[in-house]
Amino acid sequence: MFSWIFIQLLLHLPNFFCVFITFNISKCYYKITEAFHQKGDVVIGAFFPIHTYYTGNKIPHSFLPYYYVDNYLQYNFKNYQYILALIFAIEEINENPNLLSNISLGFDFYNVRFTEKDTLMNACIWLTAHREKYILPNYKCGKKHFTAALTGTSWTTSAQMGTLFQLFKFPQLSFGPYDHILSDRNQYSSLYQMAPMASSLSLGIVSLLVHFRWSWVGLILPDDHKGNTILSDFRNEMERKGVCIAFLKMIPATWMSHFNKFWKNMDETNVIIIYGDIDSLEGLMRNIGQRLLTWKVWVMNIEPHVIADYFMLDSFHGSLIFTHHYTERIEFTNFVQTVNPYKYPEDIYLPKLWYLFFKCSFSDIDCQLLNNCQFNASLDILPRHIFDVSMSDESISIYNAVYAVAHSLHEMRLQQVQMQPYENGEEIMFFPWQVISFLLYCNVSILIDQRSLDWRQKFNTEYDIINLWNLPNGLGRKVKVGSFSTNAPQGHQLSLTEQIIQWPEEFSEIPRSVCSESCGHGFRKLALEGKAVCCYKCTPCADNEISNETDVDQCLKCPESHYANTEKNHCLQKAVSFLAYQDPLGMSLASIALCLSTLTAFVIGIFVKYRDTPIVKANNQALSYILLITLTFCFLCSLTFIGQPNKDTCIMQQITFGVVFTVALATVLAKAITVVIAFKATFPGRMIRWLMKSRAPNYIIPICTLIQVFICGIWMATSPPFIDQDFHAEHGHIIIFCNKGSSVAFHCTLGYLCFLALGGYTMAFLSRTLPDSFNESKFLSLSLLVFFCVWITFLPVYHSTMGKFMVATEIFSILASSIALLSFIFAPKCYIILFRPNENTFHYIRDKMHSRRNKSLKT
């Protein structure tokens, strides 16, 4: 509370100071006229707003540094530069022997009070050259040659005078901001605008917002046709660039000090755009200065004319201003240094400036300024917020307008001389209506911006970006920090030097102005229903999607050969994976296959060594050898499924698997049939004896194998296996495996094997009543039953796995089914051969058969 009271007291100190100087100021300070004149053969009318009268309660309540207010007057000395630009241009022309030689230019200055009555009154006084209170319309009381009128700074002032000047076909040049209404040739046929058309200003400001990532900004515009036009431009550019309007404030035509509703919602954003002309923004600027809004970044198209020098805080410090790009005139700065009241005694404002700022005094007799001023008094030493020596946009337009008039008169004079030479001393007549046609096609090559005055096309696509430095204590320094040019290549139109930008006091770095915090890498924006597009929430990217930029609308899906990292901001290359020998699973399966194949070879060796024993001879020795050799290849064929696959291995593994297992199952089937035939041989018959002698069951093996070869041949011819890739089975890996090609052919091959297993199981089941010594059918049926169960179970498991686990499932089924055939058929025989050799003799078998027969007979 104490701090707030202290700040309020400080803010009111200037008001106390204002009262003090009001009572101590000289009475000569109050003496003011509405006009002053500089003689010349041809006179230009100048209508500039320099001072304003106030009466009663219309006096502004705030004391502004360059608005020196008494009970009746308010001076805007910053606008005094307009008069100096006019004098500077006229003196240059008068001193130029190649332009309007022997003809001097002069001017009549009239103050503009911003009231329509006074504005039109001054225009009529100038047109009639009548100095009395009551003017005489259509009468000219003087002998001056009037050529053109300079009007500004608001479009309303130019429009009001334009209705009068066009009645007399009097050329009028407006130096205020360009306005489309004033370019209507039907309504303002004799009015020409000197300011360039701000066609790309909205694009430049929005580009600045995008550069600093300011997506949530406020917008303040005048409530007139210009405000509506620029609002449409801003909305189009902002929608295209993804910038949103946090709030829109329209400045009323008459600013009211109690207009408090205007300031609501101002805290929604840190960046506010202000667009308008000096006149329409005057009340707003004054109110911003009073409120000390030091936490806002103002982006404007004009320089604020309100800068506080009585307090360390300032609302406009750090503002960014877009101004038209012109070539700087050092000559003007040098000229300003030479200006003083004694050089231009007719000037009514210079004595006021010298009295207020250089400690001069007035004579009490005739109110003449005494020569007792501060040493080296000059306008260029005044603070920039009071008077700026660098030419403003309006001053440049005034300078160009004077030159346009001069060149038009020069061309008109040359034509008159060529058409009708005149004698010495004969005066050439200049009529204002004649100047209009010359202005229309005037081509001036020495203007400040080096441009041709083409009234039909006037575009300025280049802007300077100015940063306002008002600290410490009303420094008022304007620093160029960048530029914008639509002529530059796309992406290089905006140029900024961020290091030298000073931001408002509340910010130690580049301010942020967003509705929602930026969505970082790995997140995307999710729009909120009923909110602006700049208001959103952040949601993580979906699986295998990334975002490596901020505030993205959609995440990018990683290619199938890549996967998203944990942070979801980068796609990583997937590692190629397959069931390799180095893989623990592949190594285990390969080791098991090699061990089992070695075990099978060991069994073959046992059968070869004990080939003459009854147990080997009794079980069809040849078929046993074929089955054991085939089982060795069954175990080894699983190795074709391990390692990096290629086209050859993909085809080989399926053919080898199908053919080898077909031979094995066909051999088991032949063994089962042989057992049945051998049992039937105990009952003599011609057919049974023929089958035993011809060894017909052995032909089952090639026949069944040829059928499987035929099926595999069709498979390889129509849709053979090929190399395939699985991108999704294992995260971060691309699994390479052999695709079966034709699923129908693969299942036909597998089904044929199951059919053989089922047939062998049936034949073995039929021989279950054989004597124990020849009861191999029990082991055949059990091995085939396990084989059948393994491959029936294989199908659902195979189709429910992916990648290398699917390959491992097939290898496991191959090994399991092969182990079943090996163990259940040959393990009992090897046990008897190795551990019970006494049971592997003809005497033991004969005695056992006799004992069983006798037991049977007793029963």
Within 8 A by CB and 6+ apart from 169, the residues are: 189, 190, 432, 433, 436
Q: What is the pLDDT of residue 592?
A: 92
At 175, the amino acid letter reads F
pLDDT tens, residue by residue, 828-843: 888 888 888 887 777 7
Strands 35-38 and 320-324: unpaired
Cα 409 to chain center, whole Å?
Answer: 54
**CA–CA separation, 155 vs 250, rounded Å?**
18
**CA–CA separation, 73 vs 70, rounded Å?**
5
Residue 37's SS3 state is strand
Q: What is the pLDDT of residue 83?
A: 94
Q: What is the pLDDT of residue 245?
A: 92
Residue whose pair of structure tokens reads 């920090």 in the numeric block: 481
Q: Which residues of the chain have pLDDT under 50?
A: 1-23, 55-71, 307-311, 425, 444-458, 681, 773-774
Cβ of 290: how many Cβ atoms within 10 Å?
Answer: 17
At 718, the amino acid letter reads T
Q: What is the pLDDT of residue 441?
A: 66
Q: What is the pLDDT of residue 94?
A: 93
**CA–CA separation, 813 vs 641, rounded Å?**
12
Alpha helices, DSSP H, located in 271-373: 278-291, 330-338, 350-357
Q: Identify the CA nearest to 208 among candidates 483, 553, 490, 460.
A: 483
Question: Mean of the per-residue pLDDT values for the chain?
Answer: 79
Q: Identify the CA nearest to 809 among candidates 828, 827, 796, 824.
A: 796
**What global pTM score does this model have?**
0.65
Contact present, 114 and 49 (Cβ < 8 Å): yes
Residue whose pair of structure tokens reads 């329209």 in the numeric block: 250
- Using CA atoms, how far residue 364 sits from 36, 344, 354, 360, 431, in Å, is 22, 21, 16, 13, 45
pLDDT tens, residue by residue, 175-230: 888 888 888 888 888 888 888 777 788 899 999 999 998 989 999 998 888 888 88
Q: What is the pLDDT of residue 109?
A: 92
Q: What is the DSSP string of 519-578?
A: P-TTEEEEEPTTS-TT-EEEEEPPTTEE--SSS-SSPEEPPTTEEE-TTSS-EEEPEEE-
DSSP annotation of 42 reads: E
Complete domains list, the chain, with CATH: 2-198+327-420+429-440 (3.40.50.2300), 523-573 (no CATH), 584-858 (1.20.1070.10)
